[in-house]
């Protein structure tokens, strides 16, 4: 019997037009997009389906847009009655996982991630923070390198441990620039600056985390119906109190995605169902374990194919 994990993408997976085919063909999915528009008080679905790309890329729009698209596919997929043993999501995707596991209501989640996106954009003035993807570096030496640069008063930290050989660093613009310069000397293949609006998942995000904590205090969070693997510690959580605390810590802590995938495989998961826009997670999962089976649910056609494969 196959052991399934539902996994949900985070920022960077968005694309104008995502979910439109499902919106037009599935009543349950359409209801999700309509609920998002009503919860936010503006037509988010119009930005999702029609763009422009600049509007969709704004963090305060990207986050609720990806959540809405993932949950729309999830609702349509639920019709098949396939249940996972675990759920997990990459950064923002953790909110989709918590909606899937019944811990967060969708309307609350979409309003919360809209606020989260705003807080993250506002935490650090434009141009003062940065992120870069480092390819071909080992986690330990890269963390040491970041610590030495941070000790010079230019903070930079590991932000996303995505898969073997792919780690994102985040922090002050000066710190990230220094890291990009020095990682090659330390044996990395290359370092690529990322187009982002802030130094996400670094300690510079603590002001955003404090504001998010106030919002989350007002949100009903229930115990999850099945375990959700948290980004902060790559451990399964179900208790509402733990979920609330970890969502706050997640804003300024590294996303331990490689560890999450390894933990799920160690728990016997052999099938990952990636639900939402794109195929980013499929690539990261395959780079972590070549033998992992990943099924994508990101269009009406792939939804039907996934249901047929898993039924």
Domain boundaries, the chain: 4-123+204-310, 129-196
Which CATH number among 3.40.50.300, 3.40.47.10, 3.40.50.920, 3.30.70.250 corresponds to the domain 129-196? 3.30.70.250
pLDDT recorded at residue 150: 98
Res 186 pLDDT > 90: no
pLDDT of residue 1: 78
The pLDDT tens digits of the residues spanning 13-59 come to 999 999 999 999 999 999 999 999 999 999 999 999 999 999 999 99
Q: Residue 227's pLDDT is what? A: 98
Give the model's confidence band at 311: pLDDT under 50 very low, under 70 low, under 90 confident, else very high: confident
In the prediction, which pLDDT does 2 show?
87
pLDDT of residue 192: 93
Q: What is the mean pLDDT of residues 98-118?
A: 98
Looking at the domain that runs over 4-123+204-310, which CATH code has it been given? 3.40.366.10
Average pLDDT of span 111-121: 97
Cβ atoms of residues 3 and 85 within 8 Å: yes
How far is residue 202's CA from residue 158's CA, in Å, rounded to a whole number? 7
pLDDT of 155 reads 98
Please say if the pLDDT value at position 278 is more than 90: yes
| Identical fold between 4-123+204-310 and 129-196 | no
The pLDDT value recorded for residue 196 is 85
Cα separation, 88 vs 97, whole angstroms? 5
* Across 292-304, average pLDDT: 97
The reply to whether the predicted model has a pTM over 0.85 is yes
Residue 197 has pLDDT above 90, yes or no: no
Q: Return the sign of the alpha-carbon dihedral for residues 66, 207, 159, 125.
A: positive
- Could you give the residue numbers annotated as active site? 91, 201
Average pLDDT of the chain, as a whole number: 97
Give residue 52's pLDDT: 98
CA distance linking residue 215 with residue 195, whole number of Å:
27
pLDDT at 129 over 90: yes
Q: What is the pLDDT of residue 185?
A: 83
| Percent of the chain at pLDDT exceeding 90 | 95
- Give the residue among 285, 24, 75 at the shortest CA–CA distance from 163: 285
Average pLDDT over residues 76-102: 97
- For 59, the 3-state DSSP assignment is helix
Q: Please state at what angle helix 139-151 crosses helix 173-185, rounded to 10 degrees.
A: 130
Q: How many CB atoms lie within 10 A of CB 280?
A: 18
For residues 157 and 163, the answer to whether their CB atoms sit within 8 Å is no
Is pLDDT above 90 for 232?
Answer: yes
């Amino acid at each position: 019997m196959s052991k399934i994990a539902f996994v949900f993408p985070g920022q960077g997976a968005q694309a104008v037009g995502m979910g439109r085919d499902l919106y037009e063909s599935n009543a349950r999915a359409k209801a999700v997009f309509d609920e998002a528009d009503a919860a936010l008080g503006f037509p988010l679905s119009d930005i999702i389906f029609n763009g422009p790309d600049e509007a969709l890329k704004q963090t305060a729009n990207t986050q609720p847009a990806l959540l809405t698209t993932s949950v729309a596919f999830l609702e349509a997929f639920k019709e098949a009655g396939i249940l996972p043993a675990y759920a997990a999501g990459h950064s923002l995707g953790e909110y989709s996982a918590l909606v899937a596991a019944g811990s967060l209501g969708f309307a609350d989640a979409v309003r919360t991630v809209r606020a989260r996106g705003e807080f993250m954009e506002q935490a650090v003035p434009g141009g003062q923070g940065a992120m870069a993807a480092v390819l071909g570096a080992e986690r330990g030496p890269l963390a040491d390198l970041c610590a030495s640069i941070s000790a010079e008063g230019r903070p930079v930290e590991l932000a996303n441990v995505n898969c073997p050989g792919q780690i994102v660093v985040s922090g002050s613009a000066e710190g990230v620039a220094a890291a990009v310069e020095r990682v090659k000397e330390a044996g990395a293949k290359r370092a690529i600056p990322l187009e982002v609006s802030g130094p996400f998942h670094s300690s510079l995000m603590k002001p955003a985390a404090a504001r998010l904590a106030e919002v989350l205090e007002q949100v009903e969070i229930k115990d999850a119906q099945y375990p959700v693997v948290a980004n902060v510690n790559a451990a399964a959580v179900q208790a509402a109190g733990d979920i609330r605390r970890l969502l706050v810590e997640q804003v300024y802590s590294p996303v331990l995605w490689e560890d999450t995938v390894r933990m799920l495989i160690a728990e016997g998961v052999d099938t990952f169902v990636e639900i939402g826009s794109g195929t980013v997670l499929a690539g990261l999962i395959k780079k972590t374990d070549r033998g992992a089976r990943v099924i994508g649910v990101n269009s009406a056609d792939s939804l039907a194919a996934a249901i047929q494969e898993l039924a």
